[in-house]
C-alpha cells in the first residue's frame, strides 16, 4: 500500500469520525428535546386541569347569576302586574271622583 492510499484511508476515517461526532451531538440534542417535550406535556396537563377547574367554578357562578336574573325578572313581572292593577284602581277612582264632583256641582 502506498503512502497516498494510506493518507486517503486516514482522511476517509477522519471524515467518518467527524460524522460520528456530529451524529452524537445530534443524538444529544434529541435527548434534550425529548426531556423538554416531557416537561411541556406535564405543564400542559397541569394547565388543562386548571382550566377544567376554572370552567367548572365559572359555570356554577354563571348559573347562580342566571338564576338570580330569572328571580329578578319574575319579581319584575309581579311588580308590573301589581302596578297595572293599581293603575286600573286609580283610574276607576278618578272616574268615580269626577262623577261625584259633577253631581255635586264642584266641577
Q: How many CB atoms lie within 10 A of CB 36?
A: 10
Question: Structural domain boundaries of the chain?
Answer: 1-80
Q: What is the pLDDT of residues 65-99, one digit of tens each?
A: 999 999 999 999 999 999 999 999 999 999 999 99
Average pLDDT over residues 13-33: 92
Q: Does the CA dihedral 24-30-36-39 come out positive or negative? A: negative
pTM of this prediction? 0.49
Amino acid at each position: 500500500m502506498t503512502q497516498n492510499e494510506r493518507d486517503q484511508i486516514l482522511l476517509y476515517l477522519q471524515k467518518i469520525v467527524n460524522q460520528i461526532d456530529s451524529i452524537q451531538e445530534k443524538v444529544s440534542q434529541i435527548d434534550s428535546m425529548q426531556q423538554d417535550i416531557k416537561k411541556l406535556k406535564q405543564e400542559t396537563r397541569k394547565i388543562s386541569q386548571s382550566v377544567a377547574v376554572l370552567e367548572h367554578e365559572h359555570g356554577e357562578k354563571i348559573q347562580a347569576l342566571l338564576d338570580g336574573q330569572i328571580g329578578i325578572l319574575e319579581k319584575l313581572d309581579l311588580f308590573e302586574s301589581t302596578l297595572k292593577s293599581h293603575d286600573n284602581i286609580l283610574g276607576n277612582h278618578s272616574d268615580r271622583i269626577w262623577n261625584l264632583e259633577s253631581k255635586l256641582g264642584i266641577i
